[in-house]
Every structure is written in structure tokens, then in C-alpha cells.
Amino acid sequence: MKLKTYFFNTKFFVKSAFFVLLISFCHLQSQRTLTVGGTNWTVTIPSITEAGSNYTGTYESATNQILLAASVPLLLGSGKVSVHYEANPTWNSNLILHARRTGNGTTACLTCSITGGTIYITVPLTTDVELFRIQAIVALASYTNIPVQLELSGVSVTIPATTYNSRVVFTISAL
């Protein structure tokens, strides 16, 4: 009678376990979510009553015009919240949109942080630009009601009078 002996190859086991952990970590890193809420912003531009006058040129929305909810996975996870706009359907290139984060929102995570985005940045057409970052240290970073304010500049009598619309798009990604 033959007896088979199996040896436990610890080197193979350690490599396999490391590979499984790496795959799991990469999967967790991709689990970022972002939800956008708030209301549409309609800029009220006052009428010009005197010949030779121009508009003030800059208009601000409410400080909480847009409310974001974002989550970043644990284990030293991070997320970059970016923004751009799309003409919807008509926009004038002389009109410039800006955005800024006006607060941190709410979170139960004591070891998480949210940084950047508290001064206005120019929101580009179709190309993402970073607005702020979220960092999770040892727990899931979950923020709600992160307030974002918009600003419109470049309003002038030289721009043809019509209705201009755009859609502001937010994304979250790994750093």
C-alpha cells in the first residue's frame, strides 16, 4: 500500500493570500460613490435702465445650491471630487462658471478629512477639474450635505440676449 504525503507550501500560500488581499483592496478602492442633489439655479439679471450701462457681471447662487453626498472606502482610501459643465443646449463662451465648497457637510467618521475647494475655481467645459478631496483613514468616509456654491461671471451687454443653459457634472475618482 502506498501512502501519499502532501506538503503544505507556505511560500505559495503567502503569495496566494497576498494576491487575494490585493484584489480585494483594489475592489474596495473602486467603491466610491457620489450623489448630487439641490435645485436648479436660475440667475436673475436685472434690467439695464440707463444708456451706456453694463451688467455687474458676477452673480452668486445660494451657498448650498448643490448638495453632494460622497463615500470613500476604508483602508486608507481617498477620493477626488471633480467638476465640469456641458452646454445644455446653448452656452456662450464669454460666460464663465465657478464653483466652491462652502462647508464640510456631515459625517460620523472621526478619522476622515475633506480638503480643498473652498475658494472659487473656474469650471471648464467638458474637462474635469478637481474641486476637493476626501480621505478615509481607518473607516468608511461617508459625507452628506456637502454644500457647493456656483458663481457666474462674464455677463455683459455684448452677449446676445437669449436663454443660456448648462449642466454642471460632478465625478468622484481615486487619486
Structural domain spans, the chain: 34-173
Query: What number of residues does the chain have?
Result: 175
pLDDT at 18: 41
Whether residue 17 has pLDDT greater than 80: no
**125: confidence class by pLDDT, cuts 50, 70, 90:** very high
**What distance lies between CA 175 and its chain's CA centroid?**
12
Q: What's the confidence (pLDDT) of residue 49?
A: 72
**What ranges in the chain are assigned the alpha helix state H?**
10-29
Q: State residue 45's pLDDT score.
A: 82
Cβ atoms 83, 128 nearer than 8 A? yes
* d(C-alpha 101, C-alpha 58), whole Å: 18
Q: Indicate if the alpha-carbon torsion angle 43, 47, 50, 51 is positive or negative.
A: positive
Phi, psi angles (nearest 5°) of residue 74: -75, -170
- In this prediction, residue 121 has a pLDDT band, given cuts at 50, 70 and 90, of very high
What pLDDT was estimated at residue 156? 86
Residue whose C-alpha cell is 435702465: 49
**What integer is the mean pLDDT of 20-46?**
70
Of all residues in the chain, the percent with pLDDT exceeding 70 is 81
Looking at residue 4, what is its pLDDT?
45
Position 88 pLDDT exceeds 60:
yes
Between 142 and 54, name the one with better pLDDT.
142
Quick one: pLDDT band at residue 175, thresholds 50, 70, 90? confident
pLDDT band per the 50, 70, 90 thresholds, residue 124: very high
Q: Which amino acid is at 119?
A: I
Task: Report d(CA 37, CA 77) in Å as an integer.
Answer: 24
- At residue 9 the predicted structure's pLDDT band, cuts being 50, 70 and 90, is very low
What the block records as the C-alpha cell of 162 is 437669449
Mean pLDDT of the chain: 82
Alpha carbon distances (Å) from 172 to 17, 71, 134: 30, 9, 10
Stated pTM of the model: 0.80
